[in-house]
């Protein structure tokens, strides 16, 4: 087992009606002015935003709001948020929404607490030395940003989607009421479930052994999400299924499923981020579209891990050898994606990149040939292109 730090400072307030506590939770942060940050309208339509405002009013909190965050959140709105926070002396940001809203809030927080251009952090040109405090009211189980150290932003100049991670941006608290996710469209529910599973799978596929407890937690988490994702396709108002998925979403990306590993692979996330940046696809759906192609491409580097995954997670019977078992596991995962109406190839996303665009995706993912991604197998620009190409259509 590798050495590790496990740091999860976020207070989780979980269950029915918990959004009523948000005013008191913010008050406990001893801030003087709050920016309530939200997305493109779902929280207005559901009435959640009004309930949050009421709770803040009751706690005597002074606040202003900024909506308009879109999936694959944009840098231009981050800049707007930074100016607003500076001119209004905001000292706390309350994100009411999903990963996109939370990530935008984190980016605004970096921009307020650090001089210079916030995009520098996402380009890895320098490190942040702080971030405004963030609180979360979560409305979709997916990205895990409510407990993660990450933030992913899309720069409209060049449509580059880049992530930045630091413990400064960890939320002070996360209000998680599974009922709030019942208004999600089926596609977003399924896409979120894939993302949750992938946060664990990215860590699970690595070059380590001897992680009995971490492997066991990971395998059970993925199975739990698969089971409840299928239930939610038929019963979107099933509270227990919503709750299982919501809790799995946070545990999947707060570091727990990576304890003792080498950090994991993460190639699929890097490959998907370019798809999201260039084609604005839903993150989880984009992951499902490239996973099968990635898995077949790298499987030979670590067949025993893929075979273990096939048996322990996908429940397939042992094949004649590890490679056969591994392949059966990949096919079973693709069958699951189909069962929850998720893509198994890029064309299933409703887009058809040209060969030039596939090359551009690979160039961007390799940061213009300056980096490789993945640890199961280190992937360079040619590998990336091949994986995108194989992922274009199924079979």
Interface positions with Zn ion (CB under 5 A): 195
Least distance CB 144 / ligand NZQ (angstroms): 5
Take residue 187 and report the two structure tokens written for it.
């596609």
Binding partner selected for residue 390 from Zn ion, ligand NZQ, none, CB under the kind-specific 5 to 8 Å limit: none
Least distance CB 285 / ligand NZQ (angstroms): 10
Binding partner selected for residue 100 from Zn ion, ligand NZQ, none, CB under the kind-specific 5 to 8 Å limit: ligand NZQ
Least distance CB 266 / Zn ion (angstroms): 9
CB-wise, 48 or 248, nearer to Zn ion? 248
CB-wise, 229 or 307, nearer to ligand NZQ? 229
CB-wise, 97 or 109, nearer to ligand NZQ? 97
Binding partner selected for residue 145 from Zn ion, ligand NZQ, none, CB under the kind-specific 5 to 8 Å limit: ligand NZQ
Q: What backbone phi and psi angles, to 5 degrees, belong to 204? A: -70, -40
Determine contact, residues 288/344, Cβ cutoff 8 Å.
yes
Angle formed at CA 41 by CA 251 and CA 240, multiple of 5 degrees: 35
Binding partner selected for residue 74 from Zn ion, ligand NZQ, none, CB under the kind-specific 5 to 8 Å limit: none
Using alpha carbons, select from 140, 176, 189 the residue that is nearest to residue 40: 140
Least distance CB 199 / Zn ion (angstroms): 6
Q: How many CB atoms lie within 10 A of CB 84?
A: 17
Least distance CB 220 / Zn ion (angstroms): 20
> What is the distance in angstroms between the CA of the first residue and the CA of the last residue of the chain?
37
Binding partner selected for residue 101 from ligand NZQ, Zn ion, none, CB under the kind-specific 5 to 8 Å limit: ligand NZQ
Q: How far apart are CA 270 and CA 296, in angstroms?
A: 17
Q: Which residues bind ligand NZQ (CB under 6 A)?
A: 39-43, 71-72, 97-101, 103, 139-140, 142-145, 148, 150-152, 180-181, 183-184, 188, 192, 195, 253, 269, 276, 283
Q: What backbone phi and psi angles, to 5 degrees, belong to 161? A: -105, 120
Q: How far apart are CA 263 and CA 260, in angstroms?
A: 8
Q: How far apart are CA 83 and CA 66, in angstroms?
A: 12
């Amino acid at each position: 087992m590798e050495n590790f730090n496990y740091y999860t400072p976020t207070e989780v307030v979980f269950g029915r009606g918990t959004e009523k506590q948000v005013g008191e939770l913010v008050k406990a942060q001893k801030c003087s002015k709050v920016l309530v940050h939200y997305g493109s309208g779902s929280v207005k339509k559901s009435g959640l935003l009004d309930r949050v405002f009421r709770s803040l009013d009751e706690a005597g909190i002074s606040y202003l709001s900024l909506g308009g965050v879109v999936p694959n959140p944009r840098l231009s709105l981050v800049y707007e948020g930074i100016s607003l926070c500076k001119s209004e002396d905001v000292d706390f940001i309350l994100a009411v929404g999903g990963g996109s809203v939370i990530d935008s809030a984190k980016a605004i927080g970096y921009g307020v607490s650090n001089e210079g251009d916030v995009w520098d952090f996402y380009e890895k040109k320098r490190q942040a030395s702080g971030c405004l405090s963030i609180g979360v009211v979560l409305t979709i189980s997916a990205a895990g940003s409510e407990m993660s150290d990450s933030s992913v932003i899309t720069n409209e100049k060049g449509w580059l989607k880049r992530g930045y991670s630091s413990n400064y941006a960890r939320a002070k608290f996360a209000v998680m009421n599974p009922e709030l996710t019942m208004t999600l469209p089926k596609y977003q529910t399924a896409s979120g479930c894939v993302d949750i599973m992938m946060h664990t799978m990215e860590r699970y596929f690595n070059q380590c052994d001897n992680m009995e407890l971490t492997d066991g937690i990971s395998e059970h988490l993925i199975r739990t999400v698969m089971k409840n994702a299928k239930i939610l396709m038929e019963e979107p108002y099933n509270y227990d299924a919503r709750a299982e998925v919501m809790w799995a979403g946070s545990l999947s990306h707060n570091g727990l499923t990576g304890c003792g590993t080498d950090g994991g692979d993460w190639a699929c996330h890097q490959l998907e981020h370019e798809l999201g940046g260039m084609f604005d696809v839903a993150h989880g759906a984009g992951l499902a579209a490239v996973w099968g192609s990635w898995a077949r491409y790298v499987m030979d580097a670590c067949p025993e891990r893929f075979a273990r995954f096939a048996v322990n997670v996908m429940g397939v019977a042992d094949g004649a050898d590890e490679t056969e078992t591994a392949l059966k596991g990949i096919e079973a995962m693709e069958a699951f994606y189909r069962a929850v109406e998720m893509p198994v190839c890029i064309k299933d996303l409703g887009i058809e990149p040209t060969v030039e665009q596939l090359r551009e995706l690979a160039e961007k993912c390799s940061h213009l040939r300056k980096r490789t991604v993945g640890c199961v197998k280190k992937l360079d620009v040619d590998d990336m292109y091949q994986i995108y190409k194989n992922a274009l259509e199924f079979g």
